[in-house]
Structure 1
Amino acid sequence: MNKALPRKLLIAAALSTFFVVSIISPVSATTKRDAILNFVNGCFRAQDGYYGSLDRTPSSVTTLSSTHAALNIIGILNPPLDADTYDHEYDINIFLTGIANTTTGGYRNSKDGIERVEGTFYALSIARSLGINISSHMNKHAKFLLDSRNPNGGFGSSPETNSSPSIINTYYAMKALDIAGNISQVNKSLVRDYVLSCRKGGTMFAGTSNSTDVSIITTYYAVRLYKDFLTSYPDLDGTYLNMRAFIAGRLGASGGFSDPVVGSEPLLSTTYYAVALCRDIGVSIPGGDELTRQWILGKQDHNGGFVEGEPPIATASVLATSHAVGALFRISSSLAELDVDTPWTLSQIAGAVAAVLILVGIVVLVIVAYYVHKRNRI
């Protein structure tokens, strides 16, 4: 008994050491960047696009918006590409073909959706980023976009007569027409007149000319229209500090930003637009870079994705993750904060060690109980 018992315990100890090492090693190697990429890749569907999250229900569908957001994340984080991970040109080409309306030239956001300017922008942008050739239908795509114009210079969501123009749809249409090579067919003076009609109070912009509700989001798109297409007009000169003051008024105590049109709570989406707008107009982020950076990092879920709202009601999504990564990139393009271990790594290691030690304890107790029982029988 005295010789056999130590031998059994030694074997149990050796096995426990092996299990501890095998469990801890892969856990400790997970950086925030790796976790994000694992999350994104987990949302991909073969010969299709990207789901909005890891959740799978009968109603879950792949969408152009999620696919565009996923590719934006991959483009920023720039991982090594291989045939099995992130490199999905063939699959996404099948997806784009399935949701295009080759008669009207518009794209649906999902297979059961309706052709819209927004979806057409996403499709053309995705095709360009992946090198997918869709030139055979480009004239129809351009016609769909041009037919969405309103006489006042703005663009609606589709060529339908009841589609009212908006700042955001105008931006999507202009970007898509630029990709299609048809931007020269747009009267930029009319576009400028429409954009100016949406400015309220001489500083911020509303979503439409008839609205009085100014927004950080719509102001971002208005500024982008100026920077990308209306660069010869000095209409925004002298307004940047007033814009910053408006953004500062939407700063939450922890570092996120809200938008008056969306709601009072800071969100990753509204924070992205606040950060991006500050960078585009050349002003500092209210509250400082570090406050906002830490607020964003605190939104990363244990599955690697970022959460728009508050868990457990809200879950990590591709769109929220795209806004988080985009905002972090606009704060600092080095993204050094993503090259550290995930915040849940230590707790995972501690849990793994505790589980193994409990298992070893049970093994030791069984061995001791066996020999005690054997001795009592003798």
Structure 2
Amino acid sequence: MPITARELSYAAKTQVFTRNFRHLLPVPRFLVRGPFMHGQSKPKDTKPKDRIKFWNIVPGDFVKLRNDSKGTVHEVHKINKLSNRVILKREINKANYVPDARSGSGVSVPYSQCQLLVGKYEYPPEGSSTEPKVQNVFATRITSSEPYFNRKGGYWIWRRYAVNTTPRLPSYSADKFSSIRIPWPKTNAVTRPDPSPYDTTADVVNEVTYTPPSLPSTLLSPAPRVPSEHEYITSLSKPEKVSLPKEAPVEVYLHKELSNPHARAKKQARWQAYQARTKALLEEFIKAEYANLAGRTKREARTEATWKWQQRLVQDRKEELKRRWRNRGAEARLERKAQRKARKMAKRNEKLRNLVLADAPNQVAPPSRRPAATA
């Protein structure tokens, strides 16, 4: 399975140990080509054959950049195994350190430009000075032991050694030189704050609030019957008619009502029941047509039964949609709207019937309403 879009977007990680080698898989080209939205960074990756399998520089290490005459030490924040890049922590007011504006954490540098910090060592005093000089020693060449899988932690682990350093160690000798082991960075333990009034304390969580009913000692004895939902509802209104143990929680009796109806298992069960019901309905139609062929072949009868079955499914679907429409209150809402319109129209007609115009010189009665002239 190739690299997914999510893995490509979150390729820069802060994990110290290697849990898998999915970063060696190829990246689909359509994820790299785009198109991309305005302001969205374009993901970059290297060829799978050029990617590093075992990373000796991990988040938490301290490194310096090659050809840096001042030897500024930077802390590794993240590593991107798809592009062989190391993201350093953002540092302010540091000489020759320009943070990357597009990155929220710091500057991104190639893996090959980083030299791992081995430690600090004392060197003999130089010139007229009498005090020893403490310098940072960086590894220019690193080797590692045979990696093995830690089953308890679920990650690959190996030991890393510095074969060559800059500057040379004070006790360096070409004949008696031995590699220096570099320990892995230690991860800080997560500090948990004290619980606030909005948090649940441990004693409340561990409190026993439900004791299950006692089961029979032998398999031959009948198991106790679980009361139904109807019995529980009846016990709420008429406790003298049905008596249930008060220590039993409500969830025991209403587990069907309180469970999620949209769970995947329930959806699958409903879908399987629907498929079985439609299949049984098709067999009924075919059996009915086979019983009365009326000069038709079985193939023609089966075709007609299939057509009737499809029409029945369409009709059942329409009835189901209408039932849902009625259950969610759409029919009652439509009736209320019609009644409201009828009341509004009745009030309007009543106002028109009771309308009386005052006599005024600018009013002319139509000829049909004028009183007849008397001789």
> Which structure carries more relative contact order (alpha carbon 8 Å, separation 6+)?
1
TM over 0.5: no
Normalising by structure 2, what TM-score? 0.23
Q: Which has the higher helix share?
A: 1
